[in-house]
Amino acid sequence: MDAPSVSPMPDAERFARLRLTLTPGLGPVLIARALEYFGSASAACGASPAEFEQLDRVGPAKAAIIAAGLKASEQIAADELAAVRRAGVTLTFKGDADYPPLLSELPDAPPMLYVLGSPEWAGADRFPVAIVGSRDCTHYGQEQARRFAGSFAQAGLCVVSGGARGVDSAAHHGALVGGGRTIAVLGCGLNHLYPPENKELFGRILDHGAVVSELPMATPPSHENFPARNRIISGLSLGVLVVEAGERSGALITAKVAAEDHGRDVFAVPGRVDSPASRGTLNLLKVGGAAIATEPADVIAAVEAAAHHLYRGTHAERFPAVEARPMLFEPPPSLPKERSPALNPTQSAILETLHEPSSVDAVCETTGLPIARVRTELTLLEIQGRVRRHGSKFIINSKL
């Protein structure tokens, strides 16, 4: 079945959307609201502070910040566009025919992606599966990541991961050795292919897939960027496989987002029962947060139904992102909890807003903090067990 035709977006509208993505105070959700309210990015760029105040959760202070940012955004966007052209990067906007269809289903889908390489979202890369795990993985973790990725590639699945050390790198290598395609989603701008020791790997990925980011070209690597990056890894994929993860691994957060926010299938490879590197993965399996995968065929067979729905154009209806799902990742009561580190002032301010379920945007509005900082601190608080997800929102964990 051919994808429905999409009219090319005029250059002026594409440039206006680039301006929106580079404007402080505007994240993916608010940009989507602005496009719906104003009818186009060009109209939004010309809107007054009073007009922006008509958007949900935009008060006078935030409207003033957005309006000031938009005034400066034209030159910033022109400079960014020049950097994009110098680096041979392609921009793909939500609504373009070449924007990844699975990602477009998310309420906080990136308005725009920076792309190096040649993704084939409607062809060879149409059926992606993510592989995630620890950066500090064991030899077993690397071995299993390569094994599963190689088999996925041979089965015609595109392997998605984060381009990082450890499990991510092994997954990309495995896909390439298996003769398939792979996509690396970075937590930095594409002027910084990070980590630097993966330079040769990134070169091979560009020949057989793509490296993508939602961040401006010059954005340096920072831990603040990884929570948002992880939602893209999940959102691009039919399912997520956790290969090896410690008890507080960020890979578990990716799995939570995949299952509870994106309606994706989650799988986990069991590890040694006495290995700290597998403790998080084993806990995930204990509480039913993931299906066990001992062979690549386990995952391939399970994602077949989702792939059929994607092919038919019914994936969003069959696997919807939901507002509230039962928590799948609560640690068993019998497991001892480690002493959590002391709260920093930013975390304390965030916790004060979470006495009822609140979205990331709502926390930003209440605290005045930038969205990247809020995402990072919420991820740390979630790993510590201080907050939990309620659908796509967060709330203080009353079970502590």
Cross-strand partners of 182: 159, 209
Residue 332 in any domain: the answer is no
Is the Cβ–Cβ distance between 53 and 59 less than 8 Å?
yes
- When pLDDT is cut at 50, 70 and 90, the band that residue 155 belongs to is very high
Give the pLDDT confidence score for residue 178 in this predicted structure. 96
**Phi, psi (deg, nearest 5) at residue 68:** -65, -40
Q: Which of 164-178, 222-236, 319-333 has the highest mean pLDDT?
A: 164-178
Asked if residues 377 and 346 have their Cβ atoms less than 8 Å apart, the reply is yes
Q: Where residue 29 sits, what CATH number does that domain have?
A: 1.10.150.20
Instruction: Read off the pLDDT of each residue in 130-150 and give the average, rounded to a whole number.
Output: 96
Q: What is the pLDDT of residue 320?
A: 67
Domain boundary among 275, 303, 318: 318
What value does the mean pLDDT take over residues 65-73? Answer: 94
| 356 band by pLDDT with thresholds 50, 70 and 90 | confident
Least Cα distance to 338 among 280, 256, 378 occurs for 280
Alpha carbons within 13 angstroms on the beta-carbon side of residue 33 total 16
What percent of the chain has pLDDT above 70?
A: 90
Residues 134 and 193 in one domain: yes
Q: Which is more confidently placed, 13 or 368?
A: 13
Whether 4 shows a pLDDT value over 60: the answer reads no
> Domain range spanning residue 207?
101-318
- Residue 6 — very low, low, confident or very high, per pLDDT cuts 50/70/90? low
pLDDT at 294 over 50: yes
Instruction: Check whether residue 71 and residue 134 sit in a common domain.
Output: no
Question: Which range among 85-94, 325-334, 358-367 has the greatest average pLDDT?
Answer: 85-94
Is 323 a residue whose pLDDT tops 50?
no
CB 44 within 8 A of CB 35: yes
Share of the chain above pLDDT 90, in %: 62
Per-residue confidence (pLDDT) for residue 126, from 0 to 100: 87
- Greater pLDDT, 343 or 235: 235
For position 399, what pLDDT does the model report? 58
The pLDDT assigned to 337 comes to 42
Residues 127 and 199 occupy one common structural domain: yes
Whether 318 has a pLDDT exceeding 80, the answer reads no
Banded model confidence at residue 340, pLDDT cuts 50, 70, 90: low
Question: What are the helix (H) ranges across 208-287?
Answer: 226-235, 250-256, 279-286
Query: Scanning the structure block, which residue is given the tokens 């299938």?
Result: 265
The upper half-sphere exposure of residue 115, i.e. CA atoms within 13 Å in the direction of its Cβ, equals 19
Whether residue 179 sits in one domain with residue 80: no
Q: Where are the alpha helices (DSSP H) in 190-344?
A: 199-207, 226-235, 250-256, 279-286, 296-302, 304-312, 315-318
The residue-averaged pLDDT of 247-274 equals 90
List pLDDT tens digits, range 267-285: 999 999 999 999 999 999 9
- Please report whether residue 333 resides in a domain: no
Q: In total, how many domains does the chain have? A: 3
Are 39 and 155 within one domain? no
3-state helix, strand, coil in the chain (%, to 5): 45, 10, 40
Q: Is residue 355 pLDDT above 90, yes or no?
A: no
What integer best gives the mean pLDDT of the chain? Answer: 88
pLDDT at residue number 273: 92
| Position 338 in a domain | no
Q: Give one DSSP letter per residue of 25-67, joined into a string.
A: T--HHHHHHHHHHHSSHHHHHT--HHHHTTSTT--HHHHHHHH
Res. 378: pLDDT tops 50: yes
Q: What is the CATH number of the domain that holds 117?
A: 3.40.50.450
Give the pLDDT confidence score for residue 311 in this predicted structure. 65
365: confidence class by pLDDT, cuts 50, 70, 90: confident
Q: Which of 87, 113, 138 is the last residue of a domain?
A: 87
Q: Within a domain: residue 182?
A: yes
Q: Which candidate, 399, 392, 264, 260, places its Cα nearest to that of 327?
A: 260
Q: In this predicted structure, what is the pLDDT of residue 7? A: 61
For 366, the token pair is: 């209440």
How far apart are alpha carbons 379 and 381 in whole angstroms?
5
Residue 60 has what pLDDT? 92
pLDDT, residue 325, reads: 44
What pLDDT, on a 0 to 100 scale, did the predictor assign at position 317? 64
170 and 44 within one domain: no
What is the mean predicted confidence (pLDDT) over 206-226? 93
